Amino acid sequence: MRVASLARAAVTAGALTVLTAAPALAQTAKIDPADTAWMIAATALVLMMSIPGLALFYAGMVRKKNVLATMAQTLAVTAVCSLLWAVVGYSLAFYGDGLALGTLGRLMLGGMTTMTISPFAPTIPEALFMIYQMTFAVITVALVAGSVADRMRFSTFMWFAALWLLVVYVPIAHWVWGGGFLYAAGVLDFAGGTVVHLNAGVAGLVAAVVIGARYGYGSDNFAPYDLALAVIGTGMLWVGWFGFNGGSALAANSRAVFAIVATHLAASTGAVTWMALEWWKRGKPSVLGMISGAVAGLGTITPASGFVEPWQGIVIGLAAGLICFWSCTWLKLACGYDDSLDVFGVHGVGGATGTLLTGVFAAPAVSGAAGLLAGNAQQVLIQLYAIAVTTVWSGIATFVLLKAIAAFGPLRVNKQNEIEGLDVTQHGEALQ
């Protein structure tokens, strides 16, 4: 692919810059102030999605005895995975264009200077690209935690989070975005339909099955402690998503704006769709339903934003509301797995749906990339290929990781601790 070879050339140029510190090459990096300013803001927005956005969203949906433990997972993932990203994650994901993995050329961010850029974002400082991508890695790992909420041991969860980042997230990010084989195959994933949402969803499903259902699942009352927290969290996710999808343009330009408009319309349509379905089928439109629909719309538009016309965000949001409602209220019950906070039902199913629809709707007028509607049926197959690869790698690697960690200690707390609650048994604290 032309894009890939360009990227390869640029990576080489970047590497030369580091090795020789040649002034002539350094000058080729034209840092754009507007792009830099927008990407700093976008980075802050995406970090806000994790803390406190996702922390509130998740904590509001668990029972009172597990609120702090759920927040602790997101908070600790943010800290630990940020460090790992700087130490080795960024280098393996985005430095070097091997088909399978990058290189260790940016180990401990070595060689990164105020003058270096990444070939993937040639108008902003490389350090900014690095930390922007860091926020994506953080939220993806944090998303997985929702499926095993209420029962996973904090210590084994932290081992899982750290290893999962390196074994699952980093390779997939490299394959799709960092010049790997899916990138070379021409996969369209603007902001993380495969890398973030499908990836987290599949891992969540596997983890929920491996760890097993919560004690009392299907018989006890698992009603959320405080949906008001979840609503606040959803608002932060929604606003933060402007940085997530808009920032994925990696520049302050019209494409970023198109992505933001499509994102907002998809979130709105998802919320309205879920609300209408519940009103019709259950007689009442629930607050949990509205926020679920909004997040489903946001996750589903993610890969497509930046490739589609804004109005197509409405179509994708509608699909998100319908399909994710079905997966959370029917599929999960039919299969019997206990995905506590519907990581698979919302993010996995939404991410796959959005990735596929990107291949249908991609409009040449927006980015140059053409989908099925623009006469490029091939793109749908490429999208399916990426969905399959992500699902297989995330599924198998997650399974192996969990089994390996389980060899050293139990994945879940014992029954008595689960009944008492994770807040007091894992952290020695509790809400009064």
Residues lying near another protein in the complex (CB under 8 A) are found at 221-224, 282, 284, 286, 288-289, 292, 328-330, 332-333, 342, 345
Token readout for 135 is: 């926020």
3-class SS of residue 2: helix
Angle made by CA atoms 186, 187, 193, in degrees to the nearest 5: 165
Nearest to 305 by CA among 239, 373, 361, 384: 361
**Whether the Cβ atoms of residue 362 and residue 371 lie closer than 8 Å to each other:** yes
Min dist. Cβ of residue 328 to another protein (A): 5
Sign of CA dihedral 403, 405, 406, 412: negative
**Whether the Cβ atoms of residue 119 and residue 7 lie closer than 8 Å to each other:** yes
H or E element in which residue 350 lies? helix 349-361
3-class SS of residue 121: strand
Rounded CA gap, 43 and 56, in Å?
A: 19
Min dist. Cβ of residue 343 to another protein (A): 12
Min dist. Cβ of residue 297 to another protein (A): 16
Min dist. Cβ of residue 282 to another protein (A): 6
Token readout for 236 is: 């932060």
Min dist. Cβ of residue 265 to another protein (A): 24
Min dist. Cβ of residue 291 to another protein (A): 10
Residue 149 exposed, middle or buried by CB count within 10 Å (0-12, 13-18, 19+)? buried
Instruction: Report residue 287: phi and psi, to 5°.
Output: -65, -40
Rounded CA gap, 143 and 65, in Å?
A: 20
Rounded CA gap, 233 and 229, in Å?
A: 6
Min dist. Cβ of residue 432 to another protein (A): 15
Nearest residue (CB) to another protein, 342 versus 418: 342
Rounded CA gap, 168 and 302, in Å?
A: 19
Nearest residue (CB) to another protein, 282 versus 403: 282
Rounded CA gap, 232 and 11, in Å?
A: 41
Min dist. Cβ of residue 288 to another protein (A): 6
